Amino acid sequence: MNATAEALFVAEPFQAAGDVVIDCNVNKIFYGDFLAVRDSTVPIEKKKITGFIGPSGCGKSTVLRSLNRMNDLISVFRFEGSVMYHGQDIYAKKVDPVVVRRYIGMVFQQPNPFSMSIFDNVAFGLRLNRYKGNIEERVEKALKRAALWKEVKDKLKNSGLSLSGGQQQRLCIARAIATEPDVLLMDEPCSALDPIATRQVEELMLELKENYTVALVTHNMQQATRVADTTAFFSVDISQGGRTGYLVEMGPTRQIFEAPREKLTKEYISGEFS
Amino acid sequence: MSEIDLTAHPKDSFLQPQLDYQALEPRALKSGFLTGLTWIAAVLAAIPLFSVIYMLLAQGGTRLFGADVVEVLTGLPPAGFEVGGGIGPAIVGTLVMVGIASAISVPLGILAAIYLGVLDATSKLATTARFLAKVLTGFPSILAGVFVYAVIVIHWGYSALAGGIALAVLMLPTVVLAAEEAMAQVPQKMKDAAYGMGCTQTEVIWKVVLPTGLPGILTGVMLAVAGAAGESAPLLFTALFSNYFISELAEPTASLSILIYNFSGMPFENQIELAWTASLVLVLIVLTFNILARLVGRPKV
Amino acid sequence: MSNLFRAADATSGISGPPSMAEYAADRIFRSIAIASAFIIILLVAYILWEIGQKAMPAVAEYGLGFITGTTWNVSKGEFSVLPEIWGTLYSSLLALLLGGVFGISIAIFLTQDFIHHRMATIFRTVVEMLAAIPSVVYGLWGIYVLIPLLKPLAGWLHDTLGWFPLFGTDLAGPGMAPAALVLAIMILPTVAAISVDAFRRIPYKVKEAAYGMGTTRWEAILKVMLPTASSGILAALVLGFGRALGETMALAMLIGNSNQISMSLFSPANTLASLLASNFPEAGQVEVQALMYAALVLLAITFLVNVAGLAIQQYTVRKFEGKK
């Protein structure tokens, strides 16, 4: 009866200091009738790493996947709000999601190389975009950047599936950056990796930031502190009877972890709930 | 769409990427073309089915749903220029032979599946038997007839029993593979629970695996029965044909499928119409078992 | 021992070892199951042995000439099956061409989100019903629907393009074209079902990766999904081909049972299976031996094709279960 009595909490908008590449304004995200995420404004800054943290079910992955319209693969998905990318709303009717995904690349939670050779995996995006230049050179460059070149340079013809989990994930990163997309979305890229592979991927992210804009979902708060410049903390609201995720607080990573404004953020980062 | 410029990075000049749909771009045209082809293929594939169903109802339905339905279902097949007549012996013959085939293949198949699926799934015997069962499903059905001809008919002549055995050869691998699949679906934790109570392997199978896997097993059995009912090649020279109702298992026996085959080439309207009627009855029998297979296999929630 | 465990004492609880009878039942039941599995192996061996043995006199008599000769003359006692082997392979290849293209298209149509899943269920039911209709009913349909339908088309093709070997003769009634068409309809469900399975086996993350790279649906299908499913689709084609080789009744009713070798789609022909179907019931002892030899040839061809198909299929399954 008191659902309307209190206004729903909405995070204070975060004022980004630099250029904003993607300005994401989630009003509501539905899966069918289920309200998955509400009221979250997340600006992604140019050549920075923006980390998304929060407990499971808080919608951080859902928001990330909305940034290149990956959620369109789910038929019941519905997005209300806007995602402004270089001044264009990628959810506008006339926008082709396929093109959006060519500019905004993605690395997934589970390594997902194609069942083809290592070389063909990395060259996939180049061929897809009918790249006319030297493909070998691009592949080598991408693999070097993904810190995989040394391990695979003598077996580029082998199947991508023959690599170990950590190598597969770096292969997927190489595949994603070979076309030099404008923005790279990473959805818990280290969750399937061992600590050594995780370190390698983290170092890679810091290097990527030189040239790319990165948005990173992580379940690991230490990872956020290690790599993210800006951090967005999401939580899940069960008070309305559903499980709706929303943005609690967004700010420079240091501020979020050392001087959080919201009580929820403080509790989360000090491990009082998970 | 303009090509993405891969060389100009960092993209300081990258201000207004073109994101819109480009309807007349080659890529979009190709997509539309291929999608259209796929739709056409799917619709074309459905045409024969509807044509067959239409013919069955139009040609076979008049007799089956007409006034002389009793004569059609119980009467003897007509000779030459005779009018009327029915397909009674063929219906009974088909049911009897499918019954014989089931009586042989179902128990044997389920027992073999128990070995393959539960007792020792990875042994040499199991892998070999499973592989041969799969080979047997791809076996030309007429070879089952040839086999039974060589083993039985040469010595004891044409009979319902020989026909039933030929059908059993065809049903067996279907039953084995479906039953094995169904039993493999029983979660290991359920079996573990029973073993944990101190059940013997036999008890686990009878009390947990078979009851839990039963819907799947029944589905497999029904599909095998449906397949056997529609078979004709293996009956051609094992059961042969007969114009009369079956009185003992050791004599030549009529079946719907052979009746259709025999009547299809005859120059008489009446026989051709009966061939369609028999086809309709046969398809109804086959579909009944197919539908039963679906109903029993539906997981209970 | 503490009191707590007193109840577990073997003498006071209700637990006890199975009785001798239960042990015996367990043993016997397991032996029966093992024997049943063994029967499958024995059955296949027995089929091979029996057909082989009954064919032996003919194999000894006609030797390899049986496969290379072109006459089947009962009164002269001359038997050979080259036209039947040709007809079997030709009709099956034509059917595979058509049924394969349609089967794979339908598999793509059903698995790659072209239609709502409820619509997909309807189409899947249609395909399954195509598979459920008995061969002999297709034969009847072929005689009274397909052949009359094909005749004018065949006549026109023969008249205008008669110089082309495929249209070298006119369709007088039964013939290769109606037989191959019906055969294509009959193997379509096999090809479609196994291909659907191959597409379904592709993990969702692969599709995600493809779309994440910015592929259109068709780029994802042609550049990622099809290559990934290729071995499964190959298995579907080989197993469909195997089915076509052994299919009997519809062919016996539609192909014309004529002992000749022709490229023409419209001339009558014969296949091994329909030779068996039409000659066995009235065959004398000598002809039966020759037919057994023909059965052996059919057995050998289908056995090889099926084993190849199954091997490819198993390789596919292993590929996706992670073993390389």
3-state secondary structure chain C: CCHHHHHHCCCCCCCCCCCHHHHHHHHHHHHHHHHHHHHHHHHHHHHHHHHHHHHHHHHHHHCCHHHHCCCEECCCCEECCHHHHHHHHHHHHHHHHHHHHHHHHHHHHHHCCCCCHHHHHHHHHHHHHHHHCCHHHHHHHHHHHHHHHHHHHHHHHHHHHCCCHHHCCCCCCCCHHHHHHHHHHHHHHHHHHHHHHHHHCCCHHHHHHHHHCCCCHHHHHHHHHHHHHHHHHHHHHHHHHHHHHHCCHHHHHHCCCCCCCCCCCCCCCCCHHHHHHHHHHHCCHHHHHHHHHHHHHHHHHHHHHHHHHHHHHHHHHHHHCCCC
Q: What percent of chain A clears pLDDT 90, i.e. is strictly above it?
A: 51
Residues in CB range of C158: below 8 A, 6 or more apart? C167, C168, C169, C170, C171, C266
Q: Is A258 left (phi over 0), alpha (psi -120 to 50) or beta?
A: alpha
Task: State how far residue B35 is from chain A, nearest Cα, in angstroms.
Answer: 17
Tell me which of B30, B43, B56, B143 to substitute to probe the interface with C (most C C-beta atoms closer than 10 Å): B143
Higher pLDDT, A13 or B140: B140
Dist CA B21 CA C292 (whole Å):
65
| Contact across the interface for B10 and A90, Cβ inside 8 Å | no
Task: State how far residue C105 is from chain B, nearest Cα, in angstroms.
Answer: 6
Q: Where are the beta strands (DSSP E) in chain A?
A: 20-31, 34-45, 49-53, 77-85, 88-89, 104-107, 183-187, 213-217, 230-237, 244-252
Tell me which of C116, C207, C208 to substitute to probe the interface with A (most A C-beta atoms closer than 10 Å): C208
Confidence of residue A2 (pLDDT cuts 50, 70, 90): very low
Chain A residue closest in CA terms to B5:
A131
| Contact across the interface for C209 and A112, Cβ inside 8 Å | yes
C16-65 tens-digit pLDDT: 777 888 888 888 999 999 999 999 999 999 999 999 999 999 999 999 99
Determine phi and psi for B184, rounding to 5 degrees: -65, -25
- In chain C, residues with a C-beta closer than 8 Å to the C-beta of A76 are none
Dist CA C296 CA C56 (whole Å):
10
- pLDDT in the model for residue C9: 52
| Contact across the interface for C129 and B287, Cβ inside 8 Å | yes
Dist CA C100 CA C93 (whole Å):
10
- pLDDT in the model for residue B301: 42
Domain boundaries, chain C: 81-320
pLDDT string in tens for chain C (324-residue length) = 445 555 455 555 677 777 888 888 888 999 999 999 999 999 999 999 999 999 999 999 999 999 999 999 888 888 999 999 999 999 999 999 999 999 999 999 999 888 888 888 888 888 888 889 999 999 999 999 999 999 999 989 998 988 888 888 888 889 999 999 999 999 999 999 999 989 998 999 999 999 999 898 899 999 999 999 998 899 899 999 999 999 999 999 999 988 889 999 999 999 999 999 989 888 888 899 999 999 999 999 999 999 998 888 888 777 665 433
- C contact chains, 3+ CB pairs < 8 A: A, B
Task: State how far residue A68 is from chain B, nearest Cα, in angstroms.
Answer: 12
Q: Is the dihedral of CA A77, A80, A86, A87 positive or negative?
A: positive
Give the residue ranges of chain B where pLDDT is below 70.
1-16, 298-301
Average pLDDT value for residue range A7-31:
87
Q: Which helix (H) or strand (E) holds A141?
A: helix A135-145
Q: Which of B14, B16, B20 sits opposite A94 (nearest CB)?
A: B20
Dist CA A265 CA A221 (whole Å):
12
User: Looking at the 3D structure of chain A, how many domains does it have?
Assistant: 1
| Contact across the interface for A86 and B11, Cβ inside 8 Å | no
| Contact across the interface for A99 and B19, Cβ inside 8 Å | yes
State whether residue C40 sits within 8 Å of chain B by CB.
yes
Q: How many CB pairs under 8 A join A and B?
A: 49
* CATH code of residue A261: 3.40.50.300
Q: Which of C47, C133, C305 sits opposite B283 (nearest CB)?
A: C133
Range of the domain at A108: 20-112+182-269
Q: Which CATH number fits domain C81-320: 3.40.190.10, 1.10.3720.10, 3.40.50.880, 3.40.50.620?
A: 1.10.3720.10
- In chain A, residues with a C-beta closer than 8 Å to the C-beta of B9 are 180, 211
Pairing of strands C72-73, A20-31: unpaired
At C301, which amino acid appears? Answer: I
| Contact across the interface for C239 and B138, Cβ inside 8 Å | yes
- pLDDT in the model for residue A273: 53
Tell me which of C137, C196, C213 to substitute to probe the interface with B (most B C-beta atoms closer than 10 Å): C137
Residues 163-192 of C with CB under 8 A from B: 185, 188
Tell me which of C92, C133, C299 to substitute to probe the interface with B (most B C-beta atoms closer than 10 Å): C133
Alpha helices in chain B (DSSP H): 26-55, 61-64, 69-74, 88-114, 124-137, 141-148, 154-156, 160-184, 188-196, 201-204, 210-230, 256-264, 269-297
- In chain A, residues with a C-beta closer than 8 Å to the C-beta of C219 are 128
Count of CB atoms within 10 A of residue A31's CB? 15
- Helix then strand then coil, in percent of chain A rounded to 5, is 35, 25, 40
CA atoms within 13 A on the CB side of B38: 23
- In chain B, residues with a C-beta closer than 8 Å to the C-beta of C40 are 112, 129, 132-133, 136, 172-173, 176
Q: Which of A99, A105, A116 sits opposite C212 (nearest CB)?
A: A105
CB B129, CB C41: distance < 8 Å: yes
Dist CA B83 CA B240 (whole Å):
24
Contact residues, chain A to chain C, C-beta under 8 Å: 68, 70, 73, 75, 98-103, 105-106, 108, 110, 112-116, 124-125, 127-129, 159, 161-162, 172, 175-176, 179
A170-200 tens-digit pLDDT: 999 999 999 888 899 999 998 878 888 888 8
- pLDDT in the model for residue B9: 41
Q: Is the pLDDT of residue A118 over 70?
A: yes
- pLDDT in the model for residue B98: 97
B84-125 tens-digit pLDDT: 888 999 999 999 999 999 999 999 999 999 999 888 888 899
Task: State how far residue C186 is from chain A, nearest Cα, in angstroms.
Answer: 32
3-state secondary structure of A67: coil
- In chain C, residues with a C-beta closer than 8 Å to the C-beta of A116 are 227
pTM here is 0.85
CATH second-level architecture of B98-297?
A: Orthogonal Bundle (1.10)
**B40, C195, C237, C297, C308 from C231: Cα distances, Å:** 25, 10, 10, 28, 12
Dist CA B152 CA B237 (whole Å):
11
| Contact across the interface for A100 and B21, Cβ inside 8 Å | no
Average pLDDT value for residue range A61-89:
91
- In chain A, residues with a C-beta closer than 8 Å to the C-beta of C209 are 108, 112-114, 172, 175
**B214, B250, C254 from B299: Cα distances, Å:** 11, 41, 42
| Contact across the interface for B22 and A85, Cβ inside 8 Å | no
Q: Which of B35, B39, B111 sits opposite C32 (nearest CB)?
A: B111
At B51, which amino acid appears? Answer: S
